[in-house]
Amino acid sequence: MEENKTVLWIADLEKKFHIHLLGDFALETIKNFSLHLNEGEFAILVGPNGIGKSTVLNCIFRTYLPTGGKIIYRSRDGSYIDLAKCDERTITRLRKTEMAYVTQFLHCQPRVPAELVVATPRLSQGIPMGQALREARQLMERLGLPPNLWRASPVSFSGGEKQRVNLARAFILQPRLLLMDEPTASLDQYSTGLVVELLAELKERGTTVLSVFHDFAPVKELVTKVIHLDSHFAQEFEPQEALGISGVEDIVSGRCL
């Protein structure tokens, strides 16, 4: 029998927003979205603004409550969990141990130094402060964040610096499933290179990645699957197919306008 490598299996995911305030209507975003990811895959979501790419990620992380479909996650211990329906305690446990989400913009607590923001996920796993801070500093160094920033609050950082704090905070978990929303959007070419290097290492160790990218050229060596979201339908491409023929930009604009 073949070894089961499934990490994420999404079937017919649907998300509607019921807006009660402004005239009580339902806003449809994604529907009939399906996806299967094996361990170590690096899948990227592409598509025009507002098509629901971040909504997919938010539903997987349960920041949004899905209104239909299943999000089956196979956890490290082999159990299957429907992220769309399981209780909140299970989600908080997974967020603590194996699921990380790099949101588009960094949300962090004010008045907390960057190194502690990055170390926090390890601390909540029970890792001692000294070791957690060591790991945090190591990661920040590899991401090119200068040491004089480590003890300052990220609230005052530049966009690219915030982005790297956000990434470091997710990488430090060595997650089994890593969700990212335009992780390199505000990074220069050099910093992007540093991020790609770390992503390659995570992938090597078995992390499964699902990420929104507008320009995925920097990570094209890592990508195993391209999912193109187009007015409620998802289409899968092999990376070469998506990149080789016309470039992503062309595919995106060609199909949705």
Partner 1 sequence: MGVKCESPPVLKVQNLGKIYGPGCPNCVGLTGPEHGRNVCPKCLSIVAFYGISLELFEAEVLGIVGESGSGKSSLLKCLHLDEEPWCGSVYHKEVGNGERDLFACSAQQKRAIRNKLFGVVYQSPEVGLRMGLTAGANIAEPLLLTNKNKPNFRAVRSRILHLFHQVELPIGRVDDPIRSFSGGMQQRVQIAKALACNPSVLLLDEPTSGLDVSVQASVLDLIRRIQWDTGLPIVIVSHDLGVIRLLTQRTLVMRLGRVVEAGLTDQILSDPQHPYTQQLVASALT
Q: Does 31 bind partner 1 (CB under 8 A)?
A: no
Show the tokens assigned to 71: 């999000």
Minimal distance, residue 75 CB to partner 1, in Å: 7
- Kindly indicate which of the ranges 81-89, 137-145, 155-163, 212-220 contains the residues binding partner 1, using the contact rule CB under 8 A: 81-89
What is the widest separation between alpha-carbon atoms in the chain? 55
Q: Does 200 bind partner 1 (CB under 8 A)?
A: no
Q: Does 91 bind partner 1 (CB under 8 A)?
A: yes
Q: Does 58 bind partner 1 (CB under 8 A)?
A: yes
180 neighbors 209 (Cβ within 8 angstroms): yes
Interface with partner 1 (CB under 8 A), residue from 5, 12, 19, 201: 19
Q: Does 3 bind partner 1 (CB under 8 A)?
A: no
- Kindly indicate which of the ranges 37-45, 62-70, 135-143, 177-185 contains the residues binding partner 1, using the contact rule CB under 8 A: 62-70
Minimal distance, residue 15 CB to partner 1, in Å: 9
Q: Which is nearer to partner 1, 2 or 88 (CB)?
A: 88
Q: Which is nearer to partner 1, 74 or 203 (CB)?
A: 74
Interface with partner 1 by CB under 8 A: which residues? Answer: 17-21, 58, 62-65, 75, 77, 79-82, 86-93, 109-111, 123
